[in-house]
Amino acid sequence: MFTDSHCHLTFPELAGDMARVRAEMAAARVTRALCISTTMEEFPRVQALAAQYDNFWATAGVHPDSENVHEPDVDELLAALRLPKVVAVGETGLDYYQMEERKGGRDIADMAWQRDRFRVHIRAARQAAVPLVIHTRAASQDTLAILEEEGEDGGAGSAGGVFHCFTETREVARAALDLGFYISLSGIVTFKNARELHEVGALVPDDRLLIETDSPYLAPVPYRGKTNTPAYVPHVAARLAELRGTTTERIGEITSANFTRLFSRVSS
């Protein structure tokens, strides 16, 4: 019924409790999950977890906020994508949030390493014909510009993909949709003060909508502040159903169909 399109099940908060995580998923009718890589050091664990279970899949990539880690080139990412159950590149993108505090007082010019990494990931995804899992925070204009510069315009040869855990404006959502990307909403959409995100949740077309937990973080209401798990993704669906004037089950159905369409290797 429901698909969690983005979770981090190899993170320590969840990695040692997989039997409980999976039992709770089954009870909540969450039938599939995409396990996300944030570094190449972590990737073997992510891929092994996906290979172990028939309803888990994996990505290969390096989170934009990960520093002092191994930097894969295009060939290394392509090799990772040849392994079983690996269906996408990411998460990748740009993150300029609190640049001065978190990055030692750097400015945007100093973040060229993120932009270079992003381009490598885009090129690997295009060569492998798999989608990108995009992370963007406080960097939407550069994210969109680089995607366009690398040929991600929704046309022939585009990798496409999803803007995960979307927290940007309606205008950024429309721009991402115009480039052929999907939009994924997380537990943040259940927060009362996320008013602009509520508007985004209402405007995304049925055939471009995904849901996720980003677990173990960002647990939805009524679990806000607690450790998140894929079993909570129906709460995201329920809030979107309210915003879109439909049923929770309908949101589960359309987002699961979209997941299969976007991550085509899942059904192959």
Strand, helix or coil for residue 210: strand
Tell me how long the chain is: 268
Q: Measured between alpha carbons, how far is residue 39 from residues 31, 69, 201, 218, 228 in Å? A: 26, 7, 30, 20, 21
HSE-up of residue 244 (Cα within 13 Å, Cβ side): 24
pLDDT band per the 50, 70, 90 thresholds, residue 103: low
pTM, two decimals, is: 0.96
pLDDT band per the 50, 70, 90 thresholds, residue 111: confident
How many DSSP H helices and E strands does the chain contain?
11, 8
Domain 2-185+200-213+250-265 belongs to what architecture? Alpha-Beta Barrel (3.20)
- Tell me how far apart the alpha carbons of residues 189 and 88 are, in angstroms, rounded to a whole number: 24
pLDDT at 260: 98
Tell me the per-residue pLDDT of 112-144, one tens digit each, with 9 for 90 and over. 999 999 999 999 999 999 999 999 999 999 999
Neighbours of 28 (CB within 10 A): 18
- Domains of the chain by residue range: 2-185+200-213+250-265
pLDDT at 73: 98
pLDDT at 102: 60
Strand, helix or coil for residue 216: coil
Tell me the per-residue pLDDT of 1-30, one tens digit each, with 9 for 90 and over. 999 999 999 999 999 999 999 999 999 999
Average pLDDT of the chain?
96
Judge whether residue 268 has pLDDT over 60. Answer: no
